[in-house]
Every structure is written in C-alpha cells, then in structure tokens.
A and B are shown apart, each in its own frame.
Chain A
Amino acid sequence: MFYREAGQFKTSYAADQQMLPIPMDRYFVIGVVLVAAILIPAFGSQYWIESIMVPVLILSIAAMGLNILTGYAGQLSLGTGGFMAAGAYMSYKVATNMPDFLPVWIPVLVGGLFAAAVGIAFGLPSLRIKGFYLAVATLAAQFFLLWLFQSIPWFVNNSVSGVPSAPPTTILGYHVTGAQAIPEAKYLFVLTFVVILAIIARNMARSRVGRSWMAIRDMDIAAELIGIRPLQTKLSAFAISSFYCGVAGALWSFCYINTVEPTAFDIGRSFDVLFMVIIGGLGSVLGAFLGAAFIFLLPIFLNNVPGWFGLEIATDIVAHLEFMIFGAAIIFFLIVEPHGLARLWQIAKEKLRLWPFPH
C-alpha cells in the first residue's frame, strides 16, 4: 500500500473508531468487494469460480469462526468439523421440510444456530480445562457429532444411502444451491454470507464482547476481577464461533460438494481450518481469508508447478511432493512468523511506510 498513515488526523472519536479508520484502506476493501461481486462472476471462468472461489470463501467463514474462538478468546478447538457438520445436517433437515415460500437463507441460519447450541454444550468444559486438555475435549465433539449424524437417519430424512443430495433451492427464480445451480449464483450466495459475517466479526472484535474475549485470553484472572464473567464469555465465544462454522458447513454441503455427507467434515477438516487460522494469523479477520486461500491454493499451485516447467513427474510423486512441501511451508511459517500472514502484511506496510529510508 503506497499511501501514508501520517497526517490523517481524526477530529472525532467516531471517525477514529471506524472499522477501517484510514480512507485508503476503506476504498481498497470496498474495491475488493466490488471486484469480487461484479467482475469475478462476470468474467471469471466456471472452474475458477466453482472450484476455487466458492470453497475458499466458505472455508474463510469457518476460519473466521475458529479465529473467534481460538484467536480472540484463546480457547483451542479441534471440533470445527463437527460443528460444521451440525450446521450442514440441520440446515438440510430444515431446507427439505420447510414450506416453499420461505427464503433459502433461513435453513442456513437455522443450521448455524443449531451449531451454536451444540457449541455451547461442548464449550461447558472450558471453564475448568484449558489448552491442550480443552483441545482433547473438543476432539470428542468432533467424533461424537459425526457419529451422531451418521447414526440417526432422522437428520437425512431416512435416506437409504445416508448421503442425500443438497436440496435445490432458488432465489428470484435462480438456483443457488444443489447440483442444478450455476456457479455464479452459488458464488454470489456464498459471497453475501462472507461479507456480512466478516463485517459482524470486525464489529464484535471492536466492541465489548470482543474485548471480553481478548481479556479472557490474555489474563483470565484479571478479567474476572474487573467483572467479566468467564463462563458467559467463553460460552459466547463457543456459540458465535460454532455459528460461523455451522453456516460454513451448510454452505459447504449446499453450494460446494452438493451432498450432505460426514466425510466432508472429518478430523482432517478440523485441522485444515486450524492451520488456516494459525497461518493466516490468530486474532485477525484478514488472517482468516489469507489462511484459507493459502491452505486451499498451495496444493493446487504445487500440483501445477511441474507442468509449467515442462517436467513430466508421475502423479503419485507429485502428490507426495505436495505433502512434503506443504508440511515444510507450514513449519517454516510457524518458525519465521508465528503471528501469521496477517502480521507479515502489517510488517510489510510498516516497512513500506519508511521505504527507502531505513529509519
């Protein structure tokens, strides 16, 4: 960003407390959203939209959710996949049983709320246990929830296969979910959720609830002594985080894989989202997007690199190389910049502000 933060004086607290206090940042973000909402669906290829933009955006929602819990409130969780599944299964149940005139975003929100309730239940141990022990408790949520949704056919309307297709639903006559929907419609549907949830996450981070989470994260005893109630604060983080994960799970089923199936939400998904949060940057909404893009795109990028140089490498070797490079990249990142890509971006801005002078 080749602009200066110096000389940008605020004359009111309202101006200083805006979500993006620097006008350039504001224009930049509005620009990005406009490009994402208009140019990409107008000119992007089907493959690009359907197989890259949609999943990256959905995973960003899940990463924002986990970031609220782990990055802001400091509670480690490995149950992300389970909470996503809760959202997916409940929104499927609602979508297939609600009257037709109800809009399609209702089942997605109900799925999110159900996931939030599940999150509260599994967040209860967080008052007593911390760190790795809490991670193990949330791991129980991961396995228990997947088992539950596989074992109770009610969630999938007694479907014989147990893996039903996502229900086709429409907005203004366009299919936005299920196999019939065109990629652009799905993409815009997902993008709407992403924009709204990102704004909400930023707003919460700069409000009382966000400060309570960070206070509990940084020094829970002092937080309690200034009047923050630890249980309510941690449970609110679990609830809101799981809400985000639930919405992400519902969208993942409805708009990306087009089926409701447990394998999409296994423990690997939980770890993926955790990596996104760690690599993107704990306690940063921007980091959720950077992390999701990095984790999702790096394998695709690595897959394509040999082709660009005309190298003929057997696909199995490519797959193994991919794992190795991916693992090395994660370790490299954690050592060099434990605060993630969002922090690197901040450092780059600070350096550029002084550039080309060293001080």
Chain B
Amino acid sequence: MNDTASTARDSASTDPGGKPGRIGDVILRVENITMRFGGVKAISDVSFDIRKGEVRSIIGPNGAGKSSMLNVVNGFYQPQEGSIWYNGKTYSPMRPHDAASNGIARTFQNIALFKGMTTLDNIMTGRILKQKASLLEQAFYIGRGRSEELEHREFVEEVIDFLEIQAIRKTPVGRLPYGLQKRVELGRALAAQPTLLLLDEPMAGMNLEEKEDMSRFIIDVNEHFGTTIALIEHDMGVVMDLSDRVVVLDHGSLLADGTPDEVRKNQAVIDAYLGVAHD
C-alpha cells in the first residue's frame, strides 16, 4: 500500500472521540434482508448500517452473499424480506431507478461498460439523470440540448483529469486494457456525483501498481468529495488499510461487524475467512 496515504488515514481514524471527523450520521441501514434464489438462501437476515463519509467494506469467502448484498442495496435484486432505509426513507424493496436517482452509483465485479462507446461517452452516461433537455432540444442541438452537453462535458472532463485517463478519452472502451476499463467504470460512477458509491471488487485481477493507483483514487474520492463508499474486496491489505468499518458475511449470514482491528481479532472471522499464519 501507499505508505503516506495509509499513515495519514490511520491518524485520521484514531480520532480521540473514537469517531473520525469526516464521518457523520447513518445514511443507509440494511434491515433484516433475506434473499433467496429458489431454495438457496443467498442472504439470511442481515442488518448493518453505513455512516456518511465512511469507507465500509464487505468481506467474506466466495459465495458469502457480498455481491448479492450490493445488488440488493442498489435495487438490482429485490429481496423477499427486509428493507433498505436510505436518507430518511424506507425502501422495501429498493428499485434500480430509485437508487440511481437518489445518488447511489456502483461499479461491477465483471466490468459492465458500454463497449461500443468511447470513454468520454461512457462517463457522460453517468450524467444522464442530470440532463433534462427535451427531445426536440436534443434533435436540433439548441437550448438546453446544447448547453447541457457542454456543461456536463466540463464536469466529465474533471472526472477524466482526476482519474488521469485524458489520453483514452476518445477510444472505444472495448479496446482498452482491463485496468483502464476498471478506471473508466469508476469514472462513470463518479460522474453521477454519488452520495454513496458501491464498489464491487474494484481491484480484482489487478497488479500491485494498478491496485495502488485504484486505492489512491478511492481514498481521494472519499476524502476530497466526501463520498461514502461501500467496498467489496478480497485483498485484506487493501481492506484493512482503507476501511473505517468492516462487515463480514459468511454463507449469507452476518459473521462480524466492526473496525478493521476488531474484525481481524474476531475468532469466528479468522476461522471462516482470514485464517492464521502457519508456523
């Protein structure tokens, strides 16, 4: 990991009050979610919360229900039981459009970019809910049809600068290497200026250097834009360094919930997932 970043972060998270200053109130509560696919229980009665401004990780072995959990939070899966409380409203269930229009954006485990479109167009799609021009204005490229395009292009260029992908602006994303595609996908999520950003294994399949870059982007997004982040990741070094609090799932049930240190020392978590170093 990037040393300076993690030390800065450590000092921030050991605030005397126990709670770091950048972290606010609870903005999302997952309440007793149970999700079944036929006879398989992917998630059973899981509850946890996410506070404003924190980096919240969800970890667990394969098949623990982590991705399903994110899919429930942004409405792609509709669970049989339970509800999502988000920003003062209870959704049971959350619907994709509710999630998107209330500032929940996400990236996917298997990249889900629009392969035939350029990097620029892909990131511009992240702004779609903020564009209000009528069809006629768009058809003739007048009024808001034109001014919105320019205004959102300007914002998208800031995202492109931030992610350092200026050179591939006009390249169709299907031609980009994996690491860059992951970055473009993060860009598309950021373009929506989300309140809550769900990242599903943003570093899967990356080499050390790419992981370091991605970690830096995640920290910057969290600290500079104040975006709340829910993260699924298998690299424990990354998880323990980045997260403020960690949820551990196993076989669809909540195994532990707490700070990285608490989770690391939890015997159930060690048995189910982390394991111990053999002497």
Residues of A near any B CB (own CB < 8 A) = 13-14, 16-17, 19, 199-200, 203-204, 206-209, 211-212, 214-215, 217-219, 221-229, 236, 283
Complex Cα spacing A200 to B141, Å? 8
Q: Which residue of B lies closest to A200 (CB)?
A: B139
Q: Is A218 in contact with B114, judged by CB distance below 8 angstroms?
A: yes
A217-B114, A219-B114, A225-B96 known; 12 new pairs, CB 8 Å cut-off, are: A203-B138, A203-B140, A204-B135, A206-B141, A208-B131, A211-B117, A212-B128, A215-B117, A218-B115, A222-B114, A226-B188, A283-B116
| A17 contacts B138, C-beta separation under 8 Å | no
Q: Which of B101, B138, B154, B189 contacts A208 (CB 8 A)?
A: B138
Contact A17 B128 (CB under 8 A): no
Beta-carbon contact of A227 and B115 below 8 Å:
no
* B contact patch SS: helix
Per-position contact with A for B68-103: 1 when CB-CB < 8 Å, else 0?
Answer: 000000111000000000000000000011011100
Q: Is B149 an interface residue (CB 8 A)?
A: yes
The interface of chain B, by Cβ under 8 A from chain A, is 74-76, 96-97, 99-101, 105-106, 108, 112-117, 121, 124-126, 128-129, 131, 133, 135, 138-141, 145, 148-150, 153-154, 157, 188-189, 192
In the complex, are the beta carbons of B138 and A222 less than 8 A apart? no
- Let me know if A236 and B135 touch, CB within 8 A: yes
Among A16, A219, A226, which residue has its beta carbon within 8 angstroms of that of B128? A226
Q: Chain B nearest CB: distance from A93 CB in Å? A: 25
Find out whether the CB atom of A227 lies under 8 angstroms from the CB atom of B117.
no
Q: When the two chains form their complex, are residues B114 and A215 in contact, meaning their CB atoms are under 8 A apart? A: yes
**Are B108 and A222 neighbours in the complex by a CB distance under 8 Å?**
yes
Interchain CB contact (< 8 A) of B121 among A19, A214, A219: A214
Which residues of B have CB within 8 Å of A226? 100, 105, 125-126, 128-129, 188-189, 192
Q: By the criterion CB–CB under 8 Å, are B125 and A215 in contact? A: yes
Q: Tell me whether A203 and B115 are in contact in the complex, defined as CB-CB below 8 angstroms, given that A211-B128, A212-B128, A229-B97 are known contacts.
A: no
Task: Assess whether B112 is in contact with A222, with CB atoms less than 8 Å apart.
Answer: yes
How far apart are B123's CB and chain A's nearest CB, in angstroms? 10
Q: Residue on A with the closest CB to B174? A: A218
Contact of B150 among A14, A204, A236 (CB under 8 A): A14
Given contacts A207-B145, A209-B135, A219-B114, contact A228 B125 (CB under 8 A): yes
| Residue numbers in B under 8 Å from A209 (CB-CB) | 135, 138
Report A-chain residues with C-beta under 8 Å of the C-beta of B141.
19, 203, 206-207
A17 with B150: CB separation less than 8 A: yes
CA distance A32 to B196 in the complex (A): 50
The 7 closest A-B pairs by CB, nearest first: A227-B100, A222-B112, A218-B114, A207-B138, A227-B129, A203-B141, A208-B131
Please tell me if the beta carbons of B108 and A204 are within 8 angstroms of each other in the complex.
no
A208 to B133, CA, bound (A): 8
Q: Which residues of A contact B131 (CB under 8 A)?
A: 208
Contact in complex: B150, A13 (CB < 8 Å):
yes
A-chain residues with CB within 8 Å of residue B100 when the two chains form the complex: 225-227
Are the CB atoms of A224 and B115 closer together than 8 Å? no
CB distance from B243 to the nearest CB of A (A): 24
Q: Cβ of A17: which chain B residues have Cβ within 8 Å of it?
A: 149-150, 153
B128 touches A203 (CB 8 A): no
